Amino acid sequence: MRKKFLFALTAMMLIACANSTPAKSNRLQNSNLTGWSQLEIPRLTISRSQQIIEHTGYTVSYNHDWRIPNWVAYELTDREVAGDQPRADKFLPDPLVYGDPVVTSDYTKSGYDRGHMAPAGDMKWSEQAMRESFYMTNICPQNRSNNAGDWKDLEELARDLAQRYKSIYICCGPIVTDSSQTIGTKRKIVIPQSFYKVFLRQKHDGSWTSIGFVMPNAPGNRPLMTYMLSVDEVEQLTGIDFFYNLPDSVENIIEADYTISDWIVR
C-alpha cells in the first residue's frame, strides 16, 4: 500500500507539473547561503500568546490561550529518518511550560486524538527526542481519521523527502478561527479547524525551494496535491512568517509559488 500511494502521488504530480508553468524558484540561483542556521524557525506577524520552548528534536511556540502550539519547527535529515529508537507512547506534560500544563487526561473521552505536530516517526534518532515528542505542547486535538489518514501520509512524505534530498526544513501547526471550539473541562483546549505544514530544502544547484500544505481537521481521503499551497498563501492563513532567516531576495521568490517536481520522491 505504501509503494502504491507514493507511485500514485508521483504520477499525479508529474501530470500537474506538465500542465503548469515553471515556478520562479526554478530560476533562483544562490549557493552562497552556507552558515545559515535555524532556517525552520518562523516568527509571528500578529499579536498572539507565545512561549518559545526548545527541545532536543524540535522547537515549539506554545500558545497559553489555546493550550496548543502556534507552530512546531525542526530540520529532518536522512540519518534521523534511519533511526531505530522505539516509539515512546507516553504522553507527558511539558516540564518547561509556564503555568498550568496540559496533561494527557485533558483529552480523555473528547472524541479527538492526541495529534503530534512533530511526529514520533521523525524522532527515532534519539531516546530523548522520542520522549519529548510526546510532550503535550507538541499535541493538538485531531480528528482520528485525519490523524491516521491524510496527515499521516503527509508525515510519511516528509520522511521520504528527507531520505531523497538529505535534509528538509519543516514547520507545522494548527489553524484556529473565531468559531473554533474546545475540549476539556479544567483546561480548555482549542480544536483547530485545520492544520498546515511547510517544507523548505536546498537543491543540488544551490537554489532553494518551498511548498505548503493546508489540511482540514476532518475526515478525508484525498491526494496530497489537493492540499498544496504556496508558502505565501499559508502565511496569509496563519499570521506566521516562515523561513524569514533567508535573505529577502531568496524568500520572496521561493514563497510566492511552488514547483511540484521539486517535491517528487523518485
- Overall size of the chain counted in residues: 266
- Domain residue spans in the chain? 2-263
CA separation for the pair 256, 144 (Å, rounded): 32
Buried b (16+ CB within 10 A) or exposed e, 13-40: beeebeeeeebbbbebebeeeeeeeebb
Q: Quick one: cell of 259?
A: 514547483
Task: Give the 3-state secondary structure of residue 56.
Answer: coil
pLDDT for 14: 37
Q: Give pLDDT, residue 37.
A: 65
CB–CB of 93/101 below 8 Å? yes
CA atoms of 37 and 137, how far apart (whole Å): 23
CA distance 214 to 149: 14
At 215-257, the pLDDT tens digits run 999 998 999 999 999 999 999 999 999 999 999 999 999 999 9
Q: CA of 141: how far to CAs of 115, 172, 221, in Å?
A: 6, 14, 19
Question: Chain-centre distance of CA 12, in angstroms?
Answer: 22
- pLDDT tens digits, one per residue of 132-162: 999 999 999 999 999 999 999 999 999 999 9
- What is the pTM (predicted TM-score) of this model? 0.87
Mean pLDDT rounded to a whole number for the chain: 89
Over residues 10-32, mean pLDDT? 35
pLDDT score of 114? 98
Strands across the sheet containing 194-202: 51-54, 59-63, 68-77, 167-175, 194-202, 208-216, 228-229
Domain 2-263, CATH among 3.40.570.10, 3.40.50.10480, 3.40.50.300, 3.30.930.10: 3.40.570.10
- Per the CB < 8 A criterion, the answer to whether 143 and 110 are in contact is no
- pLDDT of 2 higher than 70: no
Q: Which residues are catalytic?
A: 116
Using the predicted structure, report yes or no on whether residue 95 has a pLDDT greater than 60.
Answer: yes
**Tens-place pLDDT, residues 173-227:** 999 999 999 999 999 999 999 999 999 999 999 999 999 999 999 998 999 999 9
